[in-house]
Amino acid sequence: MKVSQRPGAADRGAWPIAAPLARVAELLRVDLADVTEAAERVAPYLTADGRRLWSVKLIERAIDPNARAWLRRRSGAPAKTPPTLAG
C-alpha cells in the first residue's frame, strides 16, 4: 500500500505504510529476525489477494516504543502548536 502524493507536492517518491516483513526490515534498517518477532504482536493487513502486509509504524513501535518515527515531517518547518488561552 502506498501513500498518494498531494497535488503540487515535491516528488520524493511514495512512502509505503504497509509492506511484507522483509521490506519492513529493509525500511527500518533492522534485522529480519527482530521484525519477525515484533510481527507476532502486530496484526497484519490482509489484501484482497490474500497477502499479509504489516504496518511499518506499528512494527517500529513494537521493536522500540521510544524510537523516532522513520516517517516524520520532512519540510524542516517546526510543528505548529495550538494557541494558548493566555494569549
Q: How many whole angstroms separate alpha carbon 54 and alpha carbon 2?
A: 13
Q: Is the pLDDT of residue 33 over 70?
A: yes
Query: How many angstroms separate the Cα of 69 from the Cα of each of 55, 56, 72, 73?
Result: 13, 10, 6, 9
Q: What is the rounded average pLDDT of the residues 31-55?
A: 95
Backbone angles phi, psi at 43, to 5 degrees: -80, 135
Q: Is the pTM of this model over 0.85?
A: no
Predicted pLDDT at 77: 56
68-77 as b/e: b if 16+ CB within 10 A: eeeeeeeeee
Predicted pLDDT at 28: 87
Predicted pLDDT at 81: 62
Residue 62's SS3 state is helix
Q: Is the pLDDT of residue 71 over 70?
A: no
Q: What is the rounded average pLDDT of the residues 12-41?
A: 87
Predicted pLDDT at 3: 52
